[in-house]
Amino acid sequence: MRALVSTLCMAGLLAACTPADRDQVTRSAARSVVSRVVVQQFPGVPVQPAIDCIIDNATTPELVGLASDAVTGPTAATTEVVTRIASRPPTIQCLVGQGLPALLRTGA
C-alpha cells in the first residue's frame, strides 16, 4: 500500500512538471536504483562513471521502469535491465572510455 501511495505521489508530481523537469526527476530516481545495482553486482567499480554510462544509454521506457523501481527497491528484473543496458555496444564504449574494464570483465 505504501508503495502505491508513493507511486501515485510521484506520478502527481511528474504531471505538474515541464517535460525537461520530468526527464530530470525520472533520471534522478533511476540513478538511485542503478547505483544500488552497480554496487551490488559490480563491487569495486567506480560507481558514478558506471551509472552515467548506464543512464545515458537507457531508453525512455527503461528509465521510467528503473525510476519506478526506486520506490520499491531493486528486484531481479531491475538487475536484468541494468545488465542488459550495460552490455550494449554504446554503453560498453562509454565504460571503456571511462576506464572501467573491470565492469566489462564481471559479466555485463
Residue-wise pLDDT for 30-52, tens only, equals 999 999 999 998 887 789 999 99
* Total-model pTM: 0.74
Q: 16: Cβ–Cβ under 8 A, 6 or more apart, which residues?
A: none
For the segment 94-100, the average pLDDT, to the nearest whole number, is 82
Check residues 8 and 24 and name the one with the higher pLDDT: 24
What integer pLDDT is reported at residue 53 of this predicted model? 95
Instruction: Please write down the HEC assignment for all residues of 3-30.
Output: HHHHHHHHHHHHHCCCHHHHHHHHHHHH
